[in-house]
Structure 1
Amino acid sequence: MTSLPPSTPYSPTELARLYPSSLALQQVHIFLRHGERTPVKPRLAHLNHPSLWPYCRYARTIRAAISLPSPTSAPGSEPLTTDFQWQRKFHMLSTLDDSFQPYPTVAGAPREDLCAPGTLTDAGRASTHALGTHLRQLYVTSLGFLSPRLNHAGDLALRSTNVPRALESLQHTVTGLYPPSQRAPDLPPFSIAQAAPGAETLVPNNASCARLRQLFAAFSARAAQRWDASASAEKVHMQLERHLVGSADTRDSARIGIASRPSALGVLDTINASRAEGTGAATRLPREFYHPDVLTGLEAAGIEEWFSLYSESAEARRLASGPLLGDVVEALVRSAEGEPAAADIGGADLHNNSQHVLGPQITLNGCHDTTLGALLSSLGAFDGRWPPFTSHIAIELFRAADQPAPKPWTQSSGWLAAAGLGGSVERIGRSPTSQLVGAQKKVLDGYFVRLRYNDRSVVVPGCKAPNKHLPGDESFCTLAAFKEIVDNITPRHWKAECESNLDQPPIPSKPEPAGY
C-alpha cells in the first residue's frame, strides 16, 4: 500500500468500544509520516521516466516572510515583517548552449508545477491536511478531549525533523486540526521544535551514532545475503529483467538487489511515489513494475534491510528508538505527576507561569517512514508492511475515570501535591522503574497507555502478562508496565553508547525479542 484511504468518523458504537467510559483520555502523542512526495532521487532514466514531476501546483504561489527595518533599536523589539509572494520556475540553459538538454519531465508540463526530488506533492499536502481534519473529528468533535478553539499556544506541542516535507506535512496537519477560524486572534505564532543534526531523535540517527551506523551496515549486508539470492528476488527479476538493461550508465545494475543501483528499496520508492498519483498519472512506470510479485518482493527486501535490526537487537533499539521513546514516557509520567511538559515543546517557558495548566494535551511530530517502522519494531508491534504515506502512530495516555485528574503543578505546591500525594520525594523524570520508591510508583497507578497505528490498536507483547494491562483489553498497557518496557531500551548516555562496543559483533548470536 502506498497511500492510505480517507479516514471516516467512528460510529457511536465503535467510539464507545475504543474509548470506554471507565477511562479518561489525558494526553496524546502523534507521530506522522509525511504525505505523498516525489522520489527522493531520479531513477530509471533510460526508460525515459521523468525526473521532475508536475505535481506541485502550490509552487505557483509561495510566500516568504521578509524582515523590515525596525522603527526602534530597543533591545528585544520585535522585527517588522511582510509577505513576499513569488512563483517558482525551473531555470533552463539557453537552447543555444551546446550542453542544452530539456528537463526530463512530462511533455507539456508547466515549469511552474515541477517538483524537486523528495518534495511533498499536492496530493501529500491534501492527505496531511485530511489527517488533521480526521484528528479534529476524533479528539474535538467526537471525544471532546481537545477544545474546539485553540486559545493557548501551550495546549499544542509541535516538533519536526529538518526535512522540508516533514515540516510541511506537520503544518498541513495542524491546519486541519485547528483551521485559522478556530484559533484565537491573539494566538502567537506556532512554535515548532527542531533538533540540530547531532541531536536528532525523530529518526534513527545513523549519521551521528557510530555504533548504530555499524549495526545498520551489518544488518543491511545480511539482508543482501538473504534476499538477493531468494526466490522473492528471482520473481522480481523475472518481471523487470527487460526493463533493467539498456542503461548507458555503467553503474546501473541489470538485476535488482539490496545494494544494487538502483537498489531494491530505491525502485520501490519510485514505484510507490508513482502509485500515489493514480493509475492514469503520466509518471507511471511500465506495468510490470506494479506486478504483485514485484511489490511484495521489494517491500520484503526493504523491511529486511531497514527494520529487522530493531526486532532482533536490543542495542539497535536503544540507539535508534530509545531516546525518542524515552522522551515520550517522560512526558506521560510528567502528565501523571501533574507537572507541565518540558518548556521547549510548548511554545513558551511553561515554568515561568506558576499557575500553568498541565502542559500540552496533544503533541504532533512530523517525521518519516523510518521513524514509524523503527518505533513499532522496537516495541514488538510492527505489522511487517512498509508504512504508507501519511501513516501515523498515536500514543494515548488514559487514567481511570474514577481517579481524580492531577491538579496543575506549581512551583509553590510541588508535584506530589498535584498528584494527590503527601510528603517529599523526587520527581520520577527518567529514573528507571527499578529505582522508584513506593510513593513514586503510586503516581503511576490507574494510568494506561495505548498505541494506535493508522487507527488500529496494537498490542505490545510485554503488556500481555497479567496485571500489566486493563482487564479484558491487552491494548491498554498499564503506564507502569509500558514505562518498564521503554526503560529497557532508553539509553542513559546516548552519545557515550554510540561510541561504545565498536569492536563487538554487530549482530547478536540469537534474536533478542522486542517489546519486553
Structure 2
Amino acid sequence: MNRRLILQLSSATGSAVLGLMAYKGVRWRFQSNTGTVFADNKAVDVEREVDNEIESELTLKQVQIFFRHGARTPLKTIPNVEQANYEVRLFLAGVPHTLYNYTLRDLTGGGARPESSLEKHYRKHTLKGGAYIGQLTCLGQDQTYMLGRRIRRRYLDKFGLISDQYDPDSILPHSTNTQRTIDSLRCVVAGIYGAVHLKKAGNVVLYTQDIGKEYLFPNGHHCDFLKKLTHKTLTNYGNIPGVKEERLKLEQVLGIDSSLDPKEQVCMVDVRDDIVCRKSHGFQVPEKLREFEEIVERYAVGMVVYANTGTDGKLREEVVKLAMGRSLFMVIQKIEGAVKGEKGPKMMLYSCHDTSLIPLLVAMGIYDGKWPPFAADIAIELYEDKKGEHWVKVQYLGEDMTERGFGSPVVSVSQMKSALSKYMVDNKRHKELCGATFPAQLQAPSDLNLPEGSLLPDHQETKEESAEADEKAERPAGM
C-alpha cells in the first residue's frame, strides 16, 4: 500500500531535520516556500521509520520525567451512596515485584523524611474495608511498575542513557511528600532496575521535601493567591449557569437539598474521584449515577483546569506560573546545565499528581482537555547532534508531542526556553506573585460557551463552607 506523508517543520529545525531524512527507499523533496516535506514510500510505516532515523542521528543526554501516581483509594466518597469496599489485605498489600529496601531523605537537607500534614489528614478518614483515603493500591503499584518497565525499555535498552546497575549518581528520584507518590516512585524505580537487583544494591535513596518547599504540584500551602483561586473555584464553579442546573439534578438523585445547607453542595471533582476509583478497581458505578458520568467528567475537568491554570489571557499566564512555574524553571536549568557539560543525574524522576501534569501540559501547548490518567507521564528529553547542537523532544503517555507553535516534535533548546519563558519563575518571583492582590472578580471559564465577559458567580459563604474549601485548597490533587 502506498503511503504519503506530509511533515511540517519549523524554520529553525527544518535544515537540521532535513539532513537526517536521506532515508533509503524514500523519495524526499523540500518545498522551500512552505517549509513542507513530502515523502513517498511503499509498504512501510514512514512516520515511525523517519522518527527512528532522526533518533539514530541524535544522542540522548538527559531525560526528566514527571508522572502521576498510580491508582489509589478515593479522596472523597459520594454522599448517600454505599461506599465501595476497599479491604486492606486485598487492595493495599505490597506487590512483591515492587518491594525492596530504600532510604527516604529530605531533598534539601539530606535528613529524614519531613512530617507530612497531608498523610495526617488522610489517616483521619477510613473507608469501608479499613483503607485510608488517598492510598496507592495494588493496581496502582502495578501501573507504576509497568511505567518503570516502559522507561527501562526506552532509556536503558534503546538509548543506554543509564546503566542497568543502580547508580545513585545517575538518577534523581524525587516525590511529593504523600505516601501514594512515594510508593509510586518506589514502583517505577523497581520497574527500571528490578526489585531483585535493588535488594542486592542496598543503597537506594528516594527524595522528598517539606510541603512548604515543594514545587512539584500547585502548592496552596504557602501561596495565598493559588489557595484563594482554588477556594473560589470550589465554592462558586457549581453555581455557573448550566453547571448549576446539572448539579441540582445530581443532588436530587442523591437526596440532597443544598439550598437548606450550602455546605452540602455536591462537588463534581469529588463525585468523579469516587467514580473513577470504583471503575479502576472493578467496582460497579451505582446505577443512579450512570446517566451523570459524562456530565460529571466534563465539569470536573473544567473545575480542575480552572483552579490550576486559570482561564484564557493574563490570568492563565499568572496561574500557571504559580502552579508549576518553579518546576519549569528547574527543567530548563537542568537542561542548560547538561548542555554546558555540568555533572549531574541523567535521569530525573518526579512523582507527582494530576494537578501537576495539567499546568505543564497547558504551558507546553499540548493539553488535550482530558484528566491525566493514573500513572500518566510527561518525558522531556535532551539530545545532542553530531555538530554538538542540542535539541529537546517532549513525550506524553509515551507518544511524541508537537508543542504549540512548532511544526516538529524536535525543537532547539533555545526554542523550548523561549516557549516556556512566560511561565517560568524562580523562588523569589514566585513568592512575590503569591502575595499579589487577588482579583475582586474572576472571569468565568472560557470553555462553557457563556456570554462574553461573564464572571464567576460569587455567593456569600457560610463559615462551614469556607473552612471546607480552605482544607481542600491545600491538597495537591483532587482539590
Q: Which residue of 2 aligns with 1:488?
A: 422
Deviation digits for residues 334-372 of structure 1, max 9, x if unmatched?
0010002xxxxxxxxxxxxxxxxxx21111111000000
Change (3 A) 1:387 1:135: same
Q: Is the 8 Å Cα contact of residues 271 and 290 (structure 1) preserved in structure 2?
A: no
2:173 to 158, 161, 182: 158
Q: Which residue of 1 aligns with 2:110?
A: none
For 1:433-448, what aligned pairs fall within 5 Å after superposition?
446-448=389-391
Change (3 A) 1:23 1:261: same
When the two structures are superposed, what TM-score results if normalisation uses the length of structure 1? 0.64
For 1:103-118, what aligned pairs fall within 5 Å after superposition?
105=128, 114-118=130-134
Task: For 1:324 and 1:40, locate their aligned partners in 2 and report how far apart those are by CA, in whole Å.
Answer: 25
Amino acid at match of 2:421: D
Deviation digits for residues 462-508 of structure 1, max 9, x if unmatched?
4x2xxxxxxxx522121011112333222241454145422655758
Change (3 A) 1:290 1:64: farther
Gaps of 5+ in 1: 1-10, 68-89, 91-102, 106-110, 254-259, 341-358, 405-445, 465-472, 512-516
Task: For 1:26 and 1:261, locate their aligned partners in 2 and report how far apart those are by CA, in whole Å.
Answer: 50
Q: Which residue of 2 aligns with 1:336?
A: 339
State the Cα distance separating 1:139 from its structure 2 match.
1.7
Q: Which residue of 1 aligns with 2:275?
A: 271
Q: Which residue of 2 aligns with 1:323?
A: 326
CA RMSD of aligned residues (A): 3.7
State the Cα distance separating 1:220 from its structure 2 match.
5.5
Does residue 40 of structure 1 match 2:75?
yes
Does residue 451 of structure 1 match 2:394?
yes
Deviation digits for residues 300-323 of structure 1, max 9, x if unmatched?
443453344175422112222110
Change (3 A) 1:181 1:451: same
State the Cα distance separating 1:49 from its structure 2 match.
2.4
Change (3 A) 1:236 1:59: closer
2:368 to 383, 405, 412: 383
Does residue 477 of structure 1 match 2:411?
yes
Amino acid at match of 2:160: G
Q: Is the 8 Å Cα contact of residues 223 and 431 (structure 2) preserved in structure 1?
A: no
Does residue 293 of structure 1 match 2:294?
yes
Q: Which residue of 1 aligns with 2:468?
A: none
Q: Which residue of 1 aligns with 2:223?
A: 209
Task: For 1:104 and 1:510, locate their aligned partners in 2 and report how far apart those are by CA, in whole Å.
Answer: 34
State the Cα distance separating 1:373 from its structure 2 match.
0.7
Q: Is the 8 Å Cα contact of residues 238 and 244 (structure 2) preserved in structure 1?
A: no
Amino acid at match of 1:30: I
Does residue 145 of structure 1 match 2:130?
no
Task: For 1:137 and 1:153, locate their aligned partners in 2 and report how far apart those are by CA, in whole Å.
Answer: 19
Q: Which residue of 2 aligns with 1:345?
A: none
For 1:193-208, what aligned pairs fall within 5 Å after superposition?
193-208=207-222
Deviation digits for residues 234-282 of structure 1, max 9, x if unmatched?
45655x45531069997587xxxxxx6331111011011111012xx26
Gaps of 5+ in 2: 1-44, 104-122, 447-479
Deviation digits for residues 5-38 of structure 1, max 9, x if unmatched?
xxxxxx9983762553222211111111011111
When the two structures are superposed, what TM-score results if normalisation uses the length of structure 2? 0.68
For 1:42-191, what aligned pairs fall within 5 Å after superposition?
42-44=77-79, 46-50=80-84, 53-54=86-87, 56-57=89-90, 59=92, 105=128, 114-147=130-163, 149-183=164-198, 185=200, 187=201, 189-191=203-205
1:17 to 51, 64, 78: 51
Q: Is the 8 Å Cα contact of residues 311 and 378 (structure 1) preserved in structure 2?
A: no
Does residue 30 of structure 1 match 2:42?
no
Q: Is the 8 Å Cα contact of residues 322 and 486 (structure 1) preserved in structure 2?
A: no
Q: Which residue of 1 aligns with 2:453?
A: none
Amino acid at match of 1:245: G
Q: Is the 8 Å Cα contact of residues 218 and 506 (structure 1) preserved in structure 2?
A: no
Q: Is the 8 Å Cα contact of residues 447 and 478 (structure 1) preserved in structure 2?
A: yes
State the Cα distance separating 1:448 from its structure 2 match.
1.4
SS in 2 for 1:363: strand
State the Cα distance separating 1:154 from its structure 2 match.
0.6
Q: Relative to structure 2, which stretch is displaced further, 502-511 or 302-311?
A: 502-511
Amino acid at match of 2:278: S
Q: Is the 8 Å Cα contact of residues 71 and 139 (structure 2) preserved in structure 1?
A: yes
Task: For 2:402 and 2:418, locate their aligned partners in 1 and report how far apart those are by CA, in whole Å.
Answer: 15
State the Cα distance separating 1:196 from its structure 2 match.
1.6
Could you say which structure has the larger radius of gyration?
1
- Higher normalized helix content (fraction of residues): 2
Amino acid at match of 1:126: D
Change (3 A) 1:125 1:250: farther
Q: Is the 8 Å Cα contact of residues 303 and 385 (structure 1) preserved in structure 2?
A: no
State the Cα distance separating 1:379 from its structure 2 match.
2.5
Q: Which residue of 2 aligns with 1:302?
A: 303
SS in 2 for 1:488: helix
State the Cα distance separating 1:55 from its structure 2 match.
5.8
Q: Is the 8 Å Cα contact of residues 218 and 308 (structure 2) preserved in structure 1?
A: no
Q: Which residue of 1 aligns with 2:254?
A: 244
2:437 to 491, 502, 506: 502
User: Between the two proteins, what is the percent identity of the paired residues?
Assistant: 23
Task: For 2:298 and 2:146, locate their aligned partners in 1 and report how far apart those are by CA, in whole Å.
Answer: 31
Q: Is the 8 Å Cα contact of residues 322 and 490 (structure 1) preserved in structure 2?
A: yes
Task: For 1:160 and 1:17, locate their aligned partners in 2 and report how far apart those are by CA, in whole Å.
Answer: 32
State the Cα distance separating 1:123 from its structure 2 match.
0.7
Task: For 2:382 and 2:335, locate their aligned partners in 1 and report how far apart those are by CA, in whole Å.
Answer: 7
Deviation digits for residues 425-451 of structure 1, max 9, x if unmatched?
xxxxxxxxxxxxxxxxxxxxx211122
Amino acid at match of 1:328: V
Task: For 1:12 and 1:136, locate their aligned partners in 2 and report how far apart those are by CA, in whole Å.
Answer: 25
For 1:354-365, what aligned pairs fall within 5 Å after superposition?
359-365=344-350
Q: Relative to structure 2, which stretch is displaced further, 188-197 or 15-24?
A: 15-24
Q: Which residue of 1 aligns with 2:265?
A: 261
Q: Which residue of 1 aligns with 2:18?
A: none
Task: For 2:300 and 2:320, locate their aligned partners in 1 and report how far apart those are by CA, in whole Å.
Answer: 21
Aligned length: 376
